Amino acid sequence: MTKKTTKNPEDYIYPLNINGLEGRMLRLPPPKGKQREILFVYGQHSTLERWWGLVEEFNKFGGVTMADLPGFGGMTSFYKIGQSASLDNLAGYLATFIKLKYHRKKITIAGMSLAFAVVTRMLQLYPELTKNVEYLISIVGLAHHEDFVFNKRRKLIYRTGSWIFLHKWPSIFFKHVFLQPAYLKRVYHRSANAKEKFKNISGDEFQRTMNTELHLWKVNDIRTQMKTNYEMMTLNNCTKRVDLPVLHVASKKDRYFDNVKVEEHMRRIFNDFSIFYTSSPNHAPTIIATAEDAAPFIPPALRRLLNKD
């Protein structure tokens, strides 16, 4: 019997340099007989390795490319080159990457959470790219700040805190006080935003999750994170139509987004909307998810579409 080999993400990661922004790109070639090209765009608090499990699942349907976003995954931030990590700038960077990587090829784009807002803005600013898109997939994405389930007080706290810490000196203070490993190890898993990540885990799994969290906080630029938080808290992508249908993957128990509001806003933007519910109760796969763990975020009906040549 032939022993099954296990892939390692490091074997598929390459350097990436675009306009002075240095990061990395992961490229998985298509399996035999598959021609589809899939661009997976990750969201906040990310590295290429974090999304390895989900990318392995997408690889069943074609070649998969995943590139760092400026300020995330260890890539140079826009602030390092004198620019802001605005949604427009992230959209412009992504458009440049697509033009350089794919030229006129047809591609499937899958955007995760914040990333789908970036993809939407890109297609609004660069409508000529819509003709290159075969399928447009939102994985628990959003289109408007009203999509959040938070009450007004919580939204105000997030919006105000993000605005304060997106500036240079407050962000330095935040990094050197709140992102110290000793502090994070002691308090992070008890915080409101992290409780779900650490719920019902212990031992080695707890330690792996904590170590991964520490790495993510280290390699993701805090100003970029705060700026994109603020962008989401004030987001309105409903001002311009996109001439494409969207395939939206939603969680019935999403702790961030109201699925009814998401659909309402996406229907204002796109010319058609289809929803696929993941069987996972969580907003996203865990930060140490295997392909098997991440599989529910490509629901069966969506898999059937992606299997079509």
Segment 29-49 shows an average pLDDT of 96
Phi, psi of 281 (to 5 degrees): -80, -5
| pLDDT tens, residue by residue, 153-162 | 999 999 999 9
Please give the pLDDT value at position 187: 85
Q: Decide if pLDDT at 4 tops 60.
A: no
Confidence bin at 169 (pLDDT 50/70/90)? very high
| pLDDT tens, residue by residue, 65-89 | 999 999 999 999 999 999 999 999 9
Q: Decide if pLDDT at 216 tops 80.
A: yes
Select from 267, 259, 171 the least CA-distant residue to 223. Answer: 171
DSSP string, 185-249: HHHGGGSTTTHHHHTT--HHHHHHHHHHHHHHHHHS-HHHHHHHHHHHHT-B-TTS-EEEEEEEE
Please give the pLDDT value at position 208: 92
Segment 87-98 shows an average pLDDT of 98
Give the whole-angstrom CA distance, residue 84 versus residue 76: 12
Confidence bin at 309 (pLDDT 50/70/90)? low
Q: Decide if pLDDT at 136 tops 60.
A: yes
Give the whole-angstrom CA distance, residue 109 versus residue 19: 22
Please give the pLDDT value at position 7: 83
Give the whole-angstrom CA distance, residue 256 versus residue 147: 8
Least confident range from 6-10, 62-66, 116-120: namely 6-10
Please give the pLDDT value at position 2: 42
Least confident range from 4-8, 172-176, 300-304: namely 4-8
| pLDDT tens, residue by residue, 45-54 | 999 999 999 9
- Prediction pTM value: 0.95
Mean of pLDDT over the chain: 94
Hey, what CATH topology would domain 12-149+236-306 get?
A: Rossmann fold (3.40.50)
Check the CA dihedral 181-285-166-84 and report its sign.
positive
Segment 260-283 shows an average pLDDT of 96
Confidence bin at 5 (pLDDT 50/70/90)? low
Q: Decide if pLDDT at 135 tops 70.
A: yes
Domain regions of the chain by residue span: 12-149+236-306, 152-227
Query: Which residues, other chains included, contact 101 with Cβ-Cβ below 8 Å and sequence gap of 6+?
Result: 39, 65, 67
| pLDDT tens, residue by residue, 233-244 | 999 999 999 999
More confident residue, 109 or 209: 109
